[in-house]
Amino acid sequence: MSIRYISSLFLTACIIFLFGQIGCSTDSKQSEKNNDSIAVQSETIMESASNANETSISTIGFGFCDQTGKRILMQEDSVVLPESFTKALSKEGKIVDIIFREAKKESEQSNGRQWAENFDRSGGNLYIVTSGTVSEEETTVLFTKPFLETHKLIPTTPFEKGKLSDSNRAKIESFKGWKVKDSHSLVKLSGNRSIFLVEFELKGDSALASLVVVGSDKILYKDFPAKYDETSTWSVDDGGQFGWEYYKILAVLEYEGKIELITDWVGAEGYNATYMQEEGQTFKVIKEGYRYTSPL
């Protein structure tokens, strides 16, 4: 074998070895790059999950209590962390402490009514009130700690015989384009603000009532349009009347300078609780909860 042939073989081997090293280095760098990318994606996913979790627990829930006002059931399947709800609204409109006890199963003897008399047979997330009591008649409102850290509860005072001033009546009629038929005062707030229910004159078979927050600088509306029926207009068997006495303000809050309302509306077959937030000159519904209480 000639020396020239051996040299050629040696040179070829060196070239193959050199390209192999370059390939390994490239693969290693690509692997490191992929690992870095995976790490960044994992951190992003974890951060998104954390933000989603914070959002999910910074909220409110609806439920009902037993006849003592010391136990609460919240029937919401979508609640991920039931133990995050640690506060509730008392019958006096104050904040009381609660603790999550267990996920309670509904018994076969339950009549399906979500009220105090059927409490022991109903299912849901069970809470114990550790201070004060909650209202047996109204929908129970539950809060998480993060929610109350950012949403301020505004004190209210009864305003059952308040009158809608002529100037505010004129402003409402002008803005809505409807003539006011009647109004009913609900509560007064700080800052010379009051909340009314206003029913307007019919336009053909179109009926309209509005929840109205009247302030010195602006008026806010939550409209309840309906098709007039002498038997059932806004709710079943309402006789074509809105029924002031069945609509209640459970709480008024303030968040980032905006008014928020939590209301309870009693119908023939149940209670409809609503959490809404000021948006422009109206209220945007954030959350609703319904509980069935039709008489047996």
Can you list the residues of the chain whose pLDDT is less than 50? 1-20, 22-57
Position 58 scores a pLDDT of 56
Position 211 scores a pLDDT of 98
Position 289 scores a pLDDT of 94
Position 50 scores a pLDDT of 39
Position 12 scores a pLDDT of 47
Q: Say what the pTM is.
A: 0.80
Whole-angstrom Cα Rg for the chain: 31
Position 77 scores a pLDDT of 72
pLDDT tens figures, 46-82: 333 334 334 434 589 999 999 999 999 998 877 889 9
Burial 57-76 (b: 16+ CB within 10 A, else e): bbbbbbbbbbeebbbbbbbe
Position 185 scores a pLDDT of 96
Position 15 scores a pLDDT of 44
**Tokens 């209202």, located at residue:** 135
Domain regions of the chain by residue span? 1-56, 60-150, 157-292
- CA torsion sign for 174, 176, 179, 182 is negative
Position 296 scores a pLDDT of 82
CA nearest neighbour of 127 among 199, 190, 178, 62: 62
